Structure 1
């Protein structure tokens, strides 16, 4: 498979990325902006989307019953040279499945995720999947 995104600078405060019929405003302002995601936030959003899509992919295969899911992520960045040192995540699912089945879901999300597999080879990923209380 191949993926394509085209991005262009709008002005000194932002840029626009386009893929298919979707557009995303990018925070490329040196001062930052509240109404757009910066590059690290976009990377974390891509990882969250990968994990949520993984849930959608594996739940039918595992005959797994789920009523909802959410992902929270944070990245730890060093300044010199600028790079991410760690990404932490927490996946929370609404499900009555057993703890063993939740563990199976978690392993499958990580095993078959394009973004999670790519990122885990570059930066440590730490996290868990738990049931919503």
Structure 2
């Protein structure tokens, strides 16, 4: 019997800009202001590198939620800090590092399993890991005692 792979999921965004670098990206139902300026003072809006790091952070957080449902894995809160390192010549990202903090009472072996699932099932994670170094840690914080 011949296996058929599911067709790929397609995501579509729309971007626009005007002279001066005021740009916008429409993704899903949201419009995101983007700093599209060149050789001028930062506008305060995220630039392309910030958006890439944000996509990676969102991937990690979404997969914490996914794993919470599938494993199941108990947590009260998750936070992540991502650092993207780039070089100028040739222009590319060289590394992504992260620290994911979880408020959980899960034992360390379950936290390690969660981390393994984040690395294995994260689409953005795996895409970035194919072209740059990706490394991170999970820090668990016990829930407050009531």
TM superposition score normalised by structure 2: 0.86
- 1:14 partnered with 2:22: yes
- Residue 110 and residue 13 in structure 1: after superposition, are their counterparts in 2 closer, same or farther (change >3 A)? same
2:132 aligns with 123
Question: Which stretch shifts more, 43-52 or 33-42?
Answer: 33-42
Match of 2:94 among 55, 73, 85: 85
Output one character per residue of 1:20-60: Cα deviation in whole Å (capped at 9) or x when no partner: 31111111112252421111110000000000000111111
RMSD: 1.3
Q: 1:29 aligns to what? A: 37
After superposing on structure 2, the runs of 4+ consecutive aligned residues of structure 1 that deviate more than 6 Å are none
Q: CA deviation at 1:11?
A: 3.3
Decide whether the 8 Å contact of 1:95 with 1:131 is kept in 2: yes
Question: Paired residue for 2:57, among 17, 23, 48?
Answer: 48
- In the superposition, the TM-score normalised over structure 1's length comes to 0.94
Structure with greater Cα Rg: 2
Query: Is 1:108 matched up with 2:111?
Result: no
User: What 5-or-longer segments of structure 1 have no aligned partner?
Assistant: none
SS at match of 2:56: helix
SS of the residue 1:8 aligns to: strand
Query: Does structure 1 residue 66 correspond to structure 2 residue 75?
Result: yes
Q: CA 1:29 to 1:105, structure 2 compared with 1: closer, same or farther past 3 Å?
A: same
